[in-house]
């Protein structure tokens, strides 16, 4: 019989580990203790001071014990039988002081034992962009800075060239890269393996490290050396163009930026809803959200921006951002808010919003509770491409939109339809295709000359524009790829034009025009568009293949 005595098993030489680097934490034994957040007594925490290859270390273990698992009541309701099952889950955190840095290696949910403010943001990503093979990228997570709090997670089995991911060089905040290293990276794996090492870099670095004390410390020292001395690989350098502000070195600037967002939180404009990176893995399982911002804890089965603004607008100026930093929003597996989802029970409320603030030549974005600087050089490069789009001659010239006409439908019906020949007004005439059963708005105006889809919007901020650009993207995708959507569109056009416009059965839209009344009739320019709107426009242009997208300004 095989030997099943685990005590006699050969110890592992290497293991895939989750490595965090800590900031603001002294590389001393006392500093390591400070990095551990208060642990509830019912989790049975234990601390041990150790030395690992001559380096101060602290081992923290904790047991989470539950009398009932979260799905017990569901089984009981369906079957009438109570399984009466509990659970006991161990977590572990190993803290190390190596040279001038403090590190943490987490096992299980050990990261939940760390003070989140002590985790150095982007540490794993900084390593990844310096060592990954750009032709063997397996996955990436990014936030396109469009103001919609969108998170894209793309994975390619077996890996692919980074260009295959279709990433624009502007306005993409890269949160995570996964792939294989371009060479043997670390002393231990380089000595023991003939394969390129796989790794994932985000705030945490997930990589195979040596298990022997001397090997582990040597590997971590090499990681620190690479982060300090190596340059980013040119094909991955774009991931470094948006810089995160340091809570220590940029404290005064962050304070000034948060004053601006505090003012936004007292109104209904300027702030958008965003899903924190910490909640991505569990939010689809959430059946309730606990919201505690500046007052009592509320339980909601749905979560929207309005739920956050309702709390902040009731607070005095200067207290709103404090309430978001001090409050939290948690995800729960049950509608009563009693069974927290792992890692998402109390996520700081500030991480659920995103905002943009201009200051001097730079713009700053608040995302996931952190501030990012989009530098003037990056902005100028982005503006140059936006200007090229705006300079394309538009095939449509819409009449002025008088300030006295508040509603878009009145402008389209009473002014545009009465002025322009050869058009069909399709505002609010939705297409219900097999893929889009709830319906999509194909466009507001179809112009027969040039067969142009025209999307019309009155806007004063980036949120409305991002919605307009997204609507145009969904419409173009549906009409290019869904035969039933094209058939329905042809019917709508014929009806709206009283039979004057009949589309060919093979019609596939090419030309898309965005007609925008911007801030009471001001021209739309690369200087006047907010960063979020510029990024959304560039993404739409990329999706349409360029040149077929035009923009026209509607005067007042």
Polymer length in residues for the chain: 556
Check residue 119 and report its DSSP letter: B
What is the rounded average pLDDT of the residues 346-355?
Answer: 91
Residues 178 and 280 in one domain: no
398: its two tokens: 């819409």
pLDDT at 41: 66
Residue from 479, 481, 476 nearest 489 by CA: 479
Return all residues near 321 (Cβ < 8 A) that are at least 6 apart. 258, 259, 261, 262, 265, 350
pLDDT at 131: 94
Q: Which residues of 497-512 are buried (b: 16+ CB within 10 A; e: fewer)?
A: beeebebeeeeebebb
Residues 111 and 88 in one domain: yes
What is the rounded average pLDDT of the residues 38-47?
Answer: 76
Residues 197 and 267 in one domain: no
Q: Does the residue 222 lie in any domain?
A: no
514: its two tokens: 């965005």
47 vs 190: which has the higher pLDDT: 47
Q: Does the residue 8 lie in any domain?
A: no
Flag the least confident range among 134-138, 404-408, 528-532: 528-532
The parent domain of residue 172 ranges over 124-206+231-240
- 495-548 pLDDT tens trace: 999 999 999 877 888 899 999 999 888 899 998 888 888 888 998 898 888 668
Residues 130 and 184 in one domain: yes
**Residue after which a domain boundary falls, among 68, 97, 118:** 118
What is the rounded average pLDDT of the residues 361-381?
Answer: 85
What is the rounded average pLDDT of the residues 426-439?
Answer: 83
Number of other residues whose CB lies within 10 A of the CB of residue 187: 16
**Residue after which a domain boundary falls, among 341, 374, 407:** 374
pLDDT at 193: 67
Residues 99 and 152 in one domain: no
Q: Does the residue 171 lie in any domain?
A: yes
Mean pLDDT of the chain: 87
pTM above 0.75, yes or no: no
Q: Does the residue 439 lie in any domain?
A: yes
Number of other residues whose CB lies within 10 A of the CB of residue 37: 12
Residue from 237, 232, 227, 128 nearest 172 by CA: 237
User: How far is residue 89's CA from residue 66's CA, in Å, rounded to a whole number?
Assistant: 9
User: How far is residue 404's CA from residue 295's CA, in Å, rounded to a whole number?
Assistant: 42
With a cut of 50, say whether residue 80 has pLDDT above it.
Answer: yes
Distances in Å between the Cα of 38 and the Cα atoms of 24, 104, 231, 322, 342 are 17, 16, 38, 21, 17
Return all residues near 422 (Cβ < 8 A) that are at least 6 apart. 447, 448, 449, 500, 501
Q: Does the residue 303 lie in any domain?
A: yes
Q: Does the residue 460 lie in any domain?
A: yes
With a cut of 50, say whether residue 2 has pLDDT above it.
Answer: no
pLDDT at 194: 65
Residues 60 and 182 in one domain: no
- 254-285 pLDDT tens trace: 999 999 999 999 987 778 888 887 787 778 88
Residues 346 and 387 in one domain: no
Return all residues near 495 (Cβ < 8 A) that are at least 6 apart. none
Q: Does the residue 393 lie in any domain?
A: yes
Residues 364 and 256 in one domain: yes
- 439-491 pLDDT tens trace: 888 899 999 998 999 999 998 877 788 788 888 988 988 888 888 888 899 99
Residues 235 and 293 in one domain: no
Q: Does the residue 2 lie in any domain?
A: no
Residues 401 and 497 in one domain: yes
pLDDT band at 298 (very low <50, low <70, confident <90, very high): very high
Residues 108 and 177 in one domain: no
With a cut of 80, say whether residue 402 has pLDDT above it.
Answer: yes
Flag the least confident range among 25-34, 118-127, 541-550: 541-550
Backbone phi and psi for residue 417, each to the nearest 5 degrees, phi listed first: -60, -35
pLDDT band at 7 (very low <50, low <70, confident <90, very high): low
Check residue 64 and report its DSSP letter: E
**Residue after which a domain boundary falls, among 340, 374, 408:** 374
With a cut of 50, say whether residue 112 has pLDDT above it.
Answer: yes
- 304-332 pLDDT tens trace: 888 999 999 999 999 999 999 999 999 99
Residues 85 and 194 in one domain: no
What is the rounded average pLDDT of the residues 216-236?
Answer: 95
DSSP, collapsed to helix, strand or coil, labels residue 458 as strand
Per the listing, tokens 């003037």 go with 376
Virtual CA dihedral for 492, 497, 502, 503, nearest 10 degrees? -50
User: How far is residue 357's CA from residue 349's CA, in Å, rounded to a whole number?
Assistant: 19
Per the listing, tokens 């242009």 go with 541
Beta strands 347-348 and 362-367: pairing type?
A: unpaired
User: How far is residue 312's CA from residue 432's CA, in Å, rounded to a whole number?
Assistant: 38
Counted domains in the chain: 4
With a cut of 80, say whether residue 223 has pLDDT above it.
Answer: yes
Three-state secondary structure along 61-108? EEEEEECCCCCHHHHHHHHCCCCCCCEEEEEEEEEEEECCEEEEEEEC
User: How far is residue 164's CA from residue 160's CA, in Å, rounded to a whole number?
Assistant: 7
437: its two tokens: 């059963």
Beta strands 242-244 and 370-374: pairing type?
A: antiparallel
What is the rounded average pLDDT of the residues 243-255?
Answer: 83
């Amino acid at each position: 019989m095989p030997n099943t005595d685990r005590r006699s098993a050969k110890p592992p030489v290497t293991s895939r580990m989750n490595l965090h680097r800590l900031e603001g934490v002294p590389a001393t034994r006392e500093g390591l203790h400070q990095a551990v957040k208060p642990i509830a007594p019912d989790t049975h925490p234990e601390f041990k001071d150790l030395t690992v290859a001559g380096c101060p270390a602290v081992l923290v273990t904790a047991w989470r014990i539950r009398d009932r698992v979260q799905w017990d009541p569901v089984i009981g309701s369906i079957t009438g039988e109570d399984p009466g099952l509990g659970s006991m889950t161990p977590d572990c955190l190993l803290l190390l002081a190596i040279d001038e840095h403090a590190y943490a290696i987490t096992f299980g949910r050990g990261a939940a034992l760390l003070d989140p403010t002590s985790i150095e943001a982007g540490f794993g990503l900084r390593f990844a962009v310096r060592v990954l093979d750009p032709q063997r990228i397996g996955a990436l997570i990014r936030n396109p800075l469009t103001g919609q709090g969108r998170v894209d997670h793309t994975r390619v089995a077996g890996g692919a060239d980074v260009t295959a991911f279709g990433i624009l060089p502007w306005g993409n905040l890269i949160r995570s890269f996964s792939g294989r290293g371009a060479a043997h990276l670390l002393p231990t794996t380089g000595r023991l393996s003939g394969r390129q090492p796989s790794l994932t870099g985000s705030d945490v670095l997930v990589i195979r490290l040596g298990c022997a004390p001397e090997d582990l410390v040597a590997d971590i020292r090499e990681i620190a050396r690479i982060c300090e001395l190596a340059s980013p690989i040119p094909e991955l350098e774009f991931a470094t163009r948006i810089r995160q502000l340091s809570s220590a070195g940029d404290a005064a600037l962050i304070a000034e930026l948060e004053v601006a967002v505090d003012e936004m939180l007292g109104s209904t404009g300027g702030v958008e809803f965003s899903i924190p990176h910490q909640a991505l893995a569990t939010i689809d399982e959430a059946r309730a959200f606990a919201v505690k911002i500046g007052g009592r804890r509320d339980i909601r089965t749905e979560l929207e921006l309005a739920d956050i603004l309702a709390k902040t607008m009731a607070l005095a100026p200067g207290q709103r951002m404090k309430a978001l930093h001090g409050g939290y929003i948690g995800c729960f597996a049950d509608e009563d808010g009693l069974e927290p989802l792992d890692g998402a029970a109390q996520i700081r409320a500030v991480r659920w919003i995103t905002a943009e603030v201009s200051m001097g030549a730079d713009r700053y974005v608040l995302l996931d509770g952190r501030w990012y600087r989009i530098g003037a050089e990056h902005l100028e490069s982005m503006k140059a491409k936006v200007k090229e789009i705006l300079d394309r001659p538009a095939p449509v010239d819409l009449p002025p939109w008088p300030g006295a006409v508040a509603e878009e439908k009145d402008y389209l019906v009473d002014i545009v339809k009465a002025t322009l020949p050869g058009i069909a007004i399709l505002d609010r005439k939705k297409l219900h295709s097999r893929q889009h059963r709830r319906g999509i708005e194909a466009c507001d105006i179809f112009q027969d000359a040039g067969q142009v889809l025209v999307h019309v919007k009155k806007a004063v901020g980036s949120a409305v524009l991002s919605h307009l650009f997204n609507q145009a993207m969904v419409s173009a995708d549906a009409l290019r790829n869904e035969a039933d959507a094209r058939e329905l569109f042809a019917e709508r056009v014929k009806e709206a034009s009283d039979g004057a416009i009949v589309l060919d059965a093979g019609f596939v839209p090419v030309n898309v025009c965005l007609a925008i009344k911007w801030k009471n009739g001001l021209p739309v320019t690369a200087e006047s568009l907010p960063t979020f709107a510029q990024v959304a426009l560039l993404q739409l242009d990329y999706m349409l293949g360029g040149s077929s997208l035009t923009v026209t300004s509607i005067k007042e």
